[in-house]
Structure 1
Amino acid sequence: MPFAQHYQETLEELARVCASCGRDPREVKVIAVSKTVDAPAISAAIAAGAHDFGENRPDVLAAKVAQLPEQTWHFIGNVQSRKIPEIVACASFVHSVCKEEHFAKFDQAAERLGKVQDILLEVNVSGEESKSGFTPDEAIAALQLAETFPHIAVRGLMTMAPQGNLDVARECFEGLAALRDALRSQLPSEQAARFNELSMGMSEDWREAVCAGATMVRIGRALFSDSFESVQA
C-alpha cells in the first residue's frame, strides 16, 4: 500500500478518534517518522500532503534537510552533546531533551544561528529503567532552569509509553497531560501560552494518546511500511 493511502486512512481515523473524544483533529499534528526511508520516499510523502517529518540521527537529518529544506523537521532521537550544533542547525523541534546540562549547549548553538530553538522535555512517566527522560518530579526543576536560557523555548513535554498494553499506555499519556497542565499553571501567562505541546503516541498507540490530549503523534511504520497492521484499541 503506498504512503498516500496509509496517510489518508490515518487522517480519516484521526478524525474519527477525535470525534469520539470531543477533540478537533486540527489540534493534532501527524509527524511522519521518516528515519527508515530515503529522500525519494519522503518526496512521495510530501506529494501526499505530509510536511512534518521525524528523524533520530543528526547526520541523516542533515542530509535530508539539505535535499528537502522546505519541510518541518523534528529531531526525535537520543541527544548526544557533541551533536547538538548539528541538530539545532536542522531541526525545527527537538522532542527528546532529557538532560539539564544540554540546555546551555542548545542555547549557545541557537544563539550562533540567530534562532530560538523549540524543544520538548522528555519525561519518563512510566518509570521504566530502559527509557530515558526526566522523572515527573525532575521536570519541574528542569523547566524552571530551561526558562532562564533566552535561545531555547520549552514548548511542552514528550514521552514514550510501554509497549504491549494499550491501557497502560493510556495511563502513561494521561499522566503526561496532567503533568503538562500542572507545570503550565505555574508559568507566567506568556510562557504558559506557548507551553502547550504533548508529543506522545506512535504507530501502535497513537489513538490512546490522542484521547489523552496529544498534540503531536509520531507515526512511522503505520505510514511507511507495507506490512504494518495497526493495533486497534
Structure 2
Amino acid sequence: MSKNQILSIKEEDTMLSENLRDVEKKIEGACIRSGRNPKEVTLIAVSKTKPVEMLQEAYDAGAREFGENKVQEITAKYDQLPQDIHWHMIGHLQRNKVKYIVDKVKMIHSVDSLRLAETIDKEAQKKNVVVPVLIEVNVAEEDSKFGLSLEEVVSLIEAVSKLPNVRVQGLMTVAPFVENPEENREIFRSLKKLSVDITAKNINNVTMSVLSMGMTNDYEVAIEEGATMVRVGTGIFGARDYSR
C-alpha cells in the first residue's frame, strides 16, 4: 500500500469519526432544547450499502448500533465484525428471509402485518429467542412507503401481543424526505401521541418504550418530538453508492 493510500484511509477515518461526533452533538443539543436526557436517545448508524471497512471505522469511533435495510447485508457483515455490535433490521422484511436474521438482530423495526409477525414468532421459537419488534406506521400515508395507517395499528398490536416469542416495544415511521425538517414535525408528533394512547391501553406483552423516527435530514426535530431511536446514515457515512 502506497503512502498516499495510507494517508487517504486515515483522512477517511478522521472524517467518519468527526461526522459521528457531530451527529452526537446535534442529538445532545436537540435533547437539551426539549428538556430530555441525551441518554434516552439511541443513535443507529445506518450502514446499508457501506463496506465492512467503513462499519469497522464507525465501530472504532464508538458506534455499536447499526441499521441495515436488507437481510443479505446483515448476514454478510455479521461474522466479519465484532460480536458486540447490535444489529437493527430497519427495511422491509420478507417472510421467507426472517429465518436468516431472527437470532442475529437486536430489533426488527419494520413489522407491518400479522403474517410477518407470525413468521417471526415461528422462527424465533425454533431458535429459542424472543424478538423485540416495532410496528411500522406510514403516518404520512405515502403510496411508496410500507407501514400501517394510524387507524390500523392498535388492532395489529393486540393480535401480535398474543405471540409468545415476539415483543412489541414501540413504533417506527419513515417520514417523507423534505427540504425543511419542520414539515415533518406533525408526523413525529402524531406517532408520539399514538404511542401514548397505546400505553394507556395496558396491552399485555406490549410496551411503547421505543419510538424509532428521524433520519439524517430531520432527526433533531424527531428528538424534540419524542424519538428514542434515530436512524442516521448519510450524516455519518456520507452519500451512498447504490451501484455497489
Please classify the TM superposition score into its range, dividing by the shorter chain length: over 0.9
Q: Secondary structure at the match of 2:102?
A: helix
2:171 equivalent to 1:157: yes
Q: TM-score, normalising length from structure 1?
A: 0.93
Question: Number of residue pairs matched?
Answer: 225
Let me know the Cα RMSD of the aligned residues. Answer: 1.5
Assess if the C-alpha contact under 8 Å between 2:103 and 2:129 holds in 1: no
Q: Say whether 1:179 aligns with 2:215.
A: no
Task: Give me the whole-angstrom Cα distance separating, in 2, the residues matched to 1:103 and 1:226.
Answer: 33
1:230 is matched with which residue?
none
CA distance in 2, matches of 1:13, 1:32: 14
Q: CA deviation at 1:105?
A: 0.5
Match of 1:4 among 2, 13, 17: 17
Name the counterpart of 1:145.
159
Q: Quick check: 1:125 aligned with 2:139? A: yes
Query: 2:145 aligns to what SS in structure 1?
Result: coil
> Larger Rg: 1 or 2?
2
**1:106-129 deviations in Å (ceiling 9; x for gaps):** 001111111100100000111111
- The alignment status of 1:109 with 2:143, answered yes or no, reads no
The aligned residue for residue 65 of structure 1 is 78
Gaps of 5+ in 1: 228-233
For the residues of structure 2 that align with 1:16 and 1:9, how far apart are their CA atoms? 11
Match of 2:149 in 1: 135
- Cα distance per residue 1:64-84 (max 9 Å; x no partner): 111123200000111111011
| Identical counterparts, % of pairs | 34
Q: Which amino acid aligns with 1:13?
A: K
Q: Distance in 2 between matches of 1:47 and 1:127?
A: 39
- SS in structure 1 at match of 2:27: helix
- TM-score, normalization by structure 2: 0.88
Residue 185 of structure 2 is aligned to residue 166 of structure 1: no
**Partners in 2 of 1:57 and 1:162 — Cα distance?**
20
Segments of 5+ residues of structure 2 without an aligned counterpart are: 1-13
Amino acid corresponding to residue 190 of structure 2 in structure 1 = G
Cα distance in 2, alignment partners of residues 13 and 124 from structure 1: 26
Tell me the amino acid that sits aligned with residue 140 of structure 1.
V
In the alignment, structure 1 residue 32 sits paired with structure 2 residue 9: no
